[in-house]
Every structure is written in structure tokens, then in C-alpha cells.
Chains A and B, each alone.
Chain A
Amino acid sequence: MVDQKKLVEVAKETLARKDVKYIIGYKKGSYGFQTSAAFAYTPKDVEQFIFTPLCNKNLAKYPLKEEKLPLKRGEEEDKRKIGIVVKGCDSRAITQIIQENGMNREEVVLLGIPCPGVINQKEIEKRFPNQSEITEINEINDEYVFTIEGKEHKIPKQELLAEVCKTCDYPNPVLYDVMIGEEVEVNPKEEYEGIKELEEASLEDRWEYWEEQFQSCIRCYACREACPLCYCSTCMADLLEPQWIRRSVNLSENTAWNIMRAFHLAGRCINCGACENACPMDIPLMELNKKLGKEVKEMFEYTPGLDIDAKPLLGSFNPDDPEEFIK
């Protein structure tokens, strides 16, 4: 587990730097098993920083979504950096954003946290519904320990661990300025187990499965808002001219939206699971992302979010790319 005191200490040190504007981290949520993003401008704000197995949000998007008001006359742009507390997947998201020129490396200070894996929010809320009091969870010897109404619960880690964390290859930040704590061990895992069954099913069965999933989509676009890599200032889905996707909620449009979302993350998705976590209708969106990640790795030997100097997959090419499908 990450030492909370060390986290606060390092964050305070970073905030004391003259070129740092504020630091984004995690704080206790307002109820239940939630945590929320904290924006620390003063050393006092930093005191509330935590890192627990409940910190499953991806903070990489916040610096991009910062509102930049027009400058007054004579006013100078605030070019100070933004500090962010990053897990392995968050740091990959930031690497990917930098690679696409979404932001500059100089704009951010990364406080890396080696991540032992986070909790599947939906699973724990399913097991303990109606839990409104703030609950703290600690990880002790591969068990999550927490107290609800005076009763202590001990649940094995594997039962509550988020699906994406079970197959995570990069729990340690790939890009960071300060590392907090020791790097965790990476165990080579069998990848993409969740999609194997679907891959072996017939075309019709697969469509039946997705038809049912997409039928329930309410097009709230929570997946887009949660995704650290969906940061376009105007999303194609919101355009009216041309209108790529109609506003009506039906199977055809829902499928088109989900195809578009998955396709736009091909070769970019860093498997943080934020979309699936945010989906109110429990659509297994990560299956699409993982499948595309796998195909991209097989076809182009490309893994997103590892190198800030690499070229984006779909913006570059290799003359020897596979083309057996072309007549």
C-alpha cells in the first residue's frame, strides 16, 4: 500500500515549488464507497489527499478540461504547471495525450503511485447496497478490510479487484517526476480472457449479444466524459452539421455511437476501465476496447501510451501493413 504520509509530504513539497499551480489528487468522497478528485491550491488542501483501493477514477483528463478564460488587457497567461497524482494507467493516459500533442510534457508534474490494483466500484456497491456512510477500505495481505456498522469485513482481493486490474501489465507509472513508494511487482498475466468466449462464438451469436447490450444504451455519453482520451473540444457525436449520429435512442444509432467510440479509441485506449465504470447501464465497453487493443497489437505491433515520442497508430503507416483483405 502507498504510504499516505509520504503522499501528502511529496505533494506538499511539489506544491511549494514556484512553478506549480495546483495539484490534483484523490480525497474522500461524500458517501459510500466513493472517492472524488481534490484540487489542492494550499498546503492545507493537500492534507486531505488519500490513496486507497477505492481511488479508481482516472484523473488524467482534468488538466485538459481546465477552463481558460480570455485574458484581460495586460494580464499574462498563467503558465505554471499542474501536478497530478497518477497510477499506472493514468500515467499511460497522459503519455498518450502528450504523444498526440494534446498537452505538453512541461505542463504537468506527475506524482507517480505504484498501483496495487483498485476496487471494482460496481461489484462492491452490489454487495453492500444502501451503504451511505463513508467507508474506508484498507488492503492488508491480499484482503480488503473495512468496517460497516461496527462489523468488520474481510474480502479476498481477487473477488473485488476491477477487471482491468486483473490483466494490468503496467501497474507502475511509465512516466513520472516523483515516484511515491516502491514499485510493485508485475506478474505476467493471461490477457484478454473476457473476450475469448465471444471471439469463438458465431457472427450471429455475437450480434445477438451486442444487440442486447446496445439496446439498453441510453446514450448519456458518460463513457465519453469519463474517458481520459476522449478530450476533443467538440465530439463528433455532438455535431449537427454534419450529423454523424442521430439523436434518437434506438438500436441503429446506439450501435453507431458505440462503434464510433470504440473505433476512436483504437490504438489509443490504455485500459483504465473508466468508461465501463461510468456506464449506468453496465454495458461491457472494455470488451470492445480490449479486442481492438489486441488486434492492434497483433497487426501493427503497437501498444499505446508507452512512449511520448512514438507516432499515433492511425496517423502513421507502414508500407508493409497487412492487406490481405484488399482485392
Chain B
Amino acid sequence: MEDFEPNIIGFLCNWCSYAGADLAGTSRIQYSHNVKVIRVMCSGRVNPMFVINALQQGADGVLIGGCHPGDCHYQHGNYLARRRISVMKKLLEFMGINPERVKMTWVSAAEGRKFADVVDEVTAEIKKLGPNTKIRRKNEW
């Protein structure tokens, strides 16, 4: 388990979190390489089925990044995402899939340092949880 490197899919919103990740890069901040970023236009774009599909296809965790409440480029996309993901986490928990595999964060475009910290933290936590085996798709051919 020591050398387990988790696979984390990051759905980052174009206007805040993605720009924050960009800033972390241009500022040469060192952080874990486990998050694979998928850019979405808004955290409200993240269909909770994206999360399930990511977990099915081999992700050990999912990180959803959006703008701070009130700062959404589309007025209230992040508020809607918050409701959806909180309900989805409750459902996963009831089904026995650890809801801690689904993380959500608010990172603004100016918070490169915060992004790096969040990624480090999330990676450490998911490392502790170990590989996701529960709803993973088995390619049996």
C-alpha cells in the first residue's frame, strides 16, 4: 500500500479552479501529480454520473473544483453543483461506497497555492483509502 499512487480525476471549472491550477503551474508550485484534470465550463456542468463513470473506469477519487459561492461566472452554477454532489455523496455512503472518494473544493483563479494544497491533501486522503474496487468496471475480454 506504501507505493500506491491513486488515480484522481479533477473536474475543474474553466473560470476559477482551472485558472487556479494554471496559476499553480506558472508559479512553479510543487504538488502531487495524481490529479488528472478535465476542464469543464462550470462546476454545474458536472453531471453526478460523470463521477460514477470516473469511478467505474478506474479512478480512485474524484475532485470537483468550482468558483467560490457567489463568484460563479454563470451566476449560480456552483450552488446547483453543491446540492447535487451533496445528495450524490449521501447516496454513495448509503450504498457502501466511501463518499470520501468524492471531493469538492472552491478555488478561485488567484488561489494557486490553495489549489496545490488541496490536491496534496486530497491525494493523501485517497492514498489512505486505498484503491477503489467497488464499482470498478472489469474488462473481461
A300 within 8 A of B: yes
Q: State the Cβ distance, B3 to closest chain A Cβ, in Å.
A: 24
Known: A244-B53, A250-B138, A327-B121. A210 touches B87 (CB 8 A): no
Pick from A204, A205, A259, A315: contact of B91, CB below 8 A. Answer: A259
Q: How far is the CA of A129 from the CA of B104 in the complex (A)?
A: 51
Mark the stretch among B8-16, B18-26, B34-42, B78-86 that contacts chain A.
B78-86
- Sort chain A's interface into a size bin: 35 or more
B96 touches A266 (CB 8 A): no
Q: How far is the CA of A203 from the CA of B101 in the complex (A)?
A: 13
B127 within 8 A of A: no
Chain B contacts for A203, CB-based, 8 A: 93, 96-98
Q: How far is the CA of A265 from the CA of B24 in the complex (A)?
A: 39
Mark the stretch among A96-104, A164-172, A290-298 that contacts chain B.
A290-298
Q: Mark A244-271, 1 if CB is under 8 A from B, else 0.
A: 1010001111011001101100110000
Known: A204-B96, A260-B52, A327-B103. A322 touches B86 (CB 8 A): yes
Q: State the Cβ distance, A76 to closest chain B Cβ, in Å.
A: 40
B49 touches A244 (CB 8 A): yes
B96 touches A288 (CB 8 A): no
Chain B contacts for A211, CB-based, 8 A: 96, 134
B128 within 8 A of A: no
> Chain B: which residue is nearest A251 at the CB level?
B135
Q: Mark B94-118, 1 if CB is under 8 A from A, else 0.
A: 1111110001111000000000001
Q: How far is the CA of A292 from the CA of B20 in the complex (A)?
A: 34
Chain A contacts for B85, CB-based, 8 A: 325
B96 touches A208 (CB 8 A): yes
> Chain B: which residue is nearest A199 at the CB level?
B94
Within 295-327 of A, Cβ neighbours of B (below 8 Å) are at: 295-296, 299-300, 313-315, 317-319, 321-323, 325-327
B96 touches A263 (CB 8 A): no
Which residues of B does A touch, CB under 8 Å?
48-49, 52-53, 56, 69-70, 76, 79-80, 82-99, 103-106, 118, 121-122, 134-138
The 7 closest A-B pairs by CB, nearest first: A207-B96, A206-B96, A317-B79, A327-B105, A252-B137, A295-B90, A255-B135
- Extra A-B contacts (10), CB below 8 Å, given A198-B94, A255-B95: A252-B137, A256-B53, A259-B91, A291-B94, A295-B90, A314-B83, A319-B69, A322-B86, A323-B69, A327-B105
